[in-house]
Amino acid sequence: MQESNKIYIAGHRGMVGSAIKRRLESEGFQKLIYRTSSELDLRNQHAVREFFETEKPDVVIDAAARVGGILANRDYPWQFLYENLQIQNNIIAAAHENDVQKLIFLGSSCIYPKLAEQPLNEESLLTGPLEPTNQWYAIAKITGVKMVEALREQYNHDYVSLMPTNLYGPHDNFDLETSHVLPAMIRKFHDAKEAGHSPVTLWGSGSPMREFLHVDDVASAVLFTLTHKMEHDLYNVGTGKDITIRQLAETIQNITGHKGEIVWDSTKPDGTPRKLMDVSRMKEAGWTYSIDLKEGIRSTYQWFLDNIEDIKEVKL
């Protein structure tokens, strides 16, 4: 990798893509290219091919996806499956067809079976049924992982899939209907505090265990992958540490300053009992995370407060 390499970041305005953009800019990479969704519809195969043929990027980072939590996956299964397949298929195929030197495909830990042995390691892929509440997104991402693997095997491409654990940070989605658990909790506890410390109702029992990684650490992992020859096609990216959803809620309640009651609605689904990543493969390659969870939540809540007027206007 050279600073003069032309790098295309797909999904540069999302939480992950914007963090990658910030990190690469801070490292001196100047030839970064990106397009908004209105400028380039990544679901349109012809448009994506035309873009690649015109711009000729040396490197591609695919951080573009339709994302959401349990509720969004439940309500929009077709969109989560079809649109994510369209986006990644078009990007990966165009990269191959235009001799892109290096590609990083970003997915999620939900690609692993619901009851896979913990912590989740890369070898457990496709060894059992998926978690039903996010299977549509997971199936699309598994397809992307296999496309990367196939291109490495057949054409010896330097393409790599990175599977982050649950992410959070600046530019997260705080919409209560479509967001993931951590940003949803920040929004709920903040709004309840503003409403006189009213009770906060959360889904499930609070017993499932989850691992959380700050998005700036993902950007760090992407930079590491760009600047190193990676031995494997698939790497987990996480902290290797998890907490219960109840502990997460209490931590966020404390950081936001909410003093009211937490009510657990056990009629709602918990999702996967535990999702902890085995990050030994990435650690052996030479990368590890650096941002502590409490520190990361504090900075994310501050970003939320600094941008709250814009956040309130977002309707997904």
Residue 12 assigned ligand-binding role: yes
| Distance, CA of 231 to CA of 233 (rounded, Å) | 7
E strand map for 16-130: 32-33, 59-62, 102-106
Residue 107 assigned ligand-binding role: yes
| AA identity, residue 186 | I
Residue 213 assigned ligand-binding role: no
Residue 270 assigned ligand-binding role: yes
Residue 14 assigned ligand-binding role: yes
Question: Angle CA(16)–CA(25)–CA(164) in degrees, nearest 5?
Answer: 25
- Pair type for strands 7-10 and 32-33: parallel
Active site residue 235: no
Residue 13 assigned ligand-binding role: yes
**Residue-by-residue DSSP string for 195-245:** TTS--EEEES-S--EE-EEEHHHHHHHHHHHHTS--SSSEEEES-S--EEH
Q: What is the DSSP letter of 123?
A: G
Instruction: Choose, from 112, 137, 159, 168, the residue flagged as catalytic.
Output: 137
Residue 164 assigned ligand-binding role: yes
Residue 129 assigned ligand-binding role: no
What CA dihedral angle connects 223, 227, 230 and 234, to 10 degrees?
20
Residue 238 assigned ligand-binding role: no
Residue 121 assigned ligand-binding role: no
Binding residues: 11-17, 106-109, 141, 164-167, 180, 188, 203, 210, 270
Which residues are known to be catalytic? 137
Numbered residues of the known binding site for substrate:
188, 203, 210, 270
